[in-house]
Amino acid sequence: MTNETPDLPPEPAPAPPPPASPGTMIREAREQARLSIDDMAAHTKLARPTLEALERDDYQSLLEPVYVRGYYRKCAKVLEMDEERLIAAYNARVAPRTPEAPAKLRLASGTELGSTSRLPVSMAVLAAVVAVIVCAFIWFARDDRQAYPPASAVLEEVPLSAVQPTVEPPAAEMATPPEPLATPDATLVPAPTPEVAAAPPGSLRLRFTQDSWVRIDDVAGRVLLSGLRTAGTVETIQGQAPLSVFLGNAPGTEVEYEGRVVNISAFTRDNNTARFTLPLP
């Protein structure tokens, strides 16, 4: 008589890893683009505490979901992420609110539609909803004030001499311009030296020796170039000056404006990012 081992059921397949949270997705995309929190605040016009709460998935510190989804859309546009995937990850972590049951009232004829003891409760819930909406509006307005500096912070005092009219001397006191010297012999005048054709006005050439994030806007705010560029890439664009340039890896980027090499070492920060305007003052 032989003992046979019964067949064991197969082990269940390991569960797939949970999808990344929206905060993790934003943080990883920002770090890949070599952008700091302050850089994101400048691009999205959101306050730094709001961006930090988004990356921590701290929904208790944020506003109503309708505003949070708007924040995610701004981050996705700057970081060139899949907007729907980011919002879907947020919706999967935020449970929808259950609607409150309607309050029961008693009619004047005496017919009871329900217990009248719940009427004060429904009124309290309504007051709480109104309070939440008012607080959300105040919070959102505060974020906008933090994102945009007050007008007084950017105004500079104009010196009085800049607005005083220029007094021209009378025509009688103006010096008579000297007469041009006559050329003794026109045949002895040397021919002009031909000049090398200059680059078109507003032309910008970028050569990437390392991977780098880049964004360039023209004077009208139009985005001329945005995204991650790999080493060996050369980009040539032309736009209406002044051009606003942001580089995520300045040491790995060579810049030429209107045919001349631009030294950007003075604009390079400790994290290797650089922000400057062309032409240089």
Q: What is the pLDDT of residue 39?
A: 92
Separation CA 39–CA 73 (nearest Å): 17
The model scores a pTM over 0.75: no
Give the model's confidence band at 122: pLDDT under 50 very low, under 70 low, under 90 confident, else very high. confident
Q: Where are the domains of the chain?
A: 17-96+123-148, 203-278
pLDDT at 216 over 50: yes
| Interval 134-155: pLDDT, tens | 777 777 666 555 554 554 444 4
Separation CA 44–CA 221 (nearest Å): 14
| Interval 173-207: pLDDT, tens | 444 555 555 444 434 444 444 444 567 888 999 99
Residues linked to residue 254 through DSSP beta bridges, in sequence order: 207
The tokens of 204 are what?
Answer: 């910008």
Angle of CA points 27, 32, 33, to nearest 5°: 100
Separation CA 68–CA 26 (nearest Å): 13
| Interval 46-87: pLDDT, tens | 999 999 999 998 888 887 888 888 998 999 999 998 989 988
Own/partner pairs for 269-273, CB < 8 Å, 24+ apart? Answer: 271/34, 271/36, 272/34, 272/248, 273/34, 273/35, 273/36, 273/39, 273/246, 273/247, 273/248, 273/249
Q: At the top level of CATH, which class does the domain 17-96+123-148 belong to?
A: mainly alpha
Q: Are 90 and 68 in contact (CB under 8 A)?
A: yes
Torsion of CA 159, 164, 169, 175, to 10 degrees: 30
